[in-house]
Amino acid sequence: SSLGRLMMVAEQYPELKADQQYINFQREYIAIENSIRTETVYYNDAVTAFNNKVETFPTSLIVAMFSKFKAKPYFKADEGASKAPEVFKD
């Protein structure tokens, strides 16, 4: 992936690792990854709570009358979503 190649280049050039823009990029990248992970956990926890509620008596009786209240799926990234898009073309 492009990010992997960039990280390998950074290992070969210590001055790049000391560059403030590169340091900022790394920090931002890590923050985005952490945010995605945190929000995924938050969403899946909310889905668990919702699904438990709609499947538990007496709520399940009311849910049976309204078809829009159904158990929701957990978040699962699409196939290939973990592959970073090509940013730096060779």
Q: What is the pTM of this model?
A: 0.68
Predicted confidence band at 33 (pLDDT cuts at 50, 70, 90)? confident
For 2-32, how does the pLDDT look when each residue is reduced to its tens digit (9 = 90+)? Answer: 667 777 878 888 888 788 998 898 889 889 9
Q: Is the pLDDT of residue 87 over 70?
A: no
> Cα separation of 62 and 51, whole Å?
14
**pLDDT of the residue at 72:** 94
Q: For the chain, which residues make up each domain, given as ranges?
A: 2-65
> Cα separation of 74 and 4, whole Å?
29
